[in-house]
A and B are shown apart, each in its own frame.
Chain A
């Protein structure tokens, strides 16, 4: 079974500062993918970034980067230069395997509040 753990229920950051949201995962599969989603107060889940287990480089998408440490089974999201619009719930998720169906397993989320 797969498990995602997000240990920070809430995080506070000042505008323009960088923030790291923690995510650790547990799986016995060697092939897996890690995803981060943002959920603002409007409710929609917005895909941010993806990291594959075989990817040698950390994924980056604009101000988002994923600090992937395979040996530690961690996939932390780094948001650089925080903006007020970054205030939202952030979910880490994982999917395993290359063939056949597998569920997307979500963590419980971290609420990020960005202050002026």
Chain B
């Protein structure tokens, strides 16, 4: 398909375990974004990539969260030593570039993370 894909769609893990969430952006999109959405809440911005670099990591909730992007394409969000408050839907989006008021972000289906 031509859209943003994310895997897994659902992840249940035990407290203290590490998890990796994957995002495959739309082909040709240089910008990639990670958001978190807790139950019934709006979107919380986590991090963005322009190419393989992440200029601003200040949105990451703690140092247990990290993200990388390789080849200007696939990105992985890693959460170490998961806590119950990490339970949320993690959404990935991509866009053609990161600048410009008209640059539209297209979202993937999300990964629902449940930490027991």
CA distance A78 to B57 in the complex (A): 36
Per-residue CB proximity of A87-107 to B under 8 Å, as 1/0?
000010001111111111011
Q: Tell me what chain A mostly uses at the interface: helix, strand, loop, or mixed.
A: loop
B48/A33 in contact, CB under 8 A? no
Per-residue CB proximity of A11-44 to B under 8 Å, as 1/0?
0000000000000000000011101010000111
CA distance A109 to B108 in the complex (A): 18
Per-residue CB proximity of B91-113 to A under 8 Å, as 1/0?
10100001111111111111010
4 A-B pairs with least C-beta separation: A33-B101, A45-B107, A44-B109, A101-B98
B110/A43 in contact, CB under 8 A? yes
Q: Does A64 make an interface contact (CB < 8 A)?
A: no
Residues in A neighbouring B102, C-beta threshold 8 A: 33, 50, 52
Chain B residues with a Cβ closer than 8 Å to the other chain, count: 26
Q: Does B1 make an interface contact (CB < 8 A)?
A: no
Residues in B neighbouring A32, C-beta threshold 8 A: 101
In the complex, which residues 63-116 of chain B have their Cβ closer than 8 Å to any Cβ of chain A?
89, 91, 93, 98-110, 112
Chain B residue at smallest Cβ distance from A108? B42
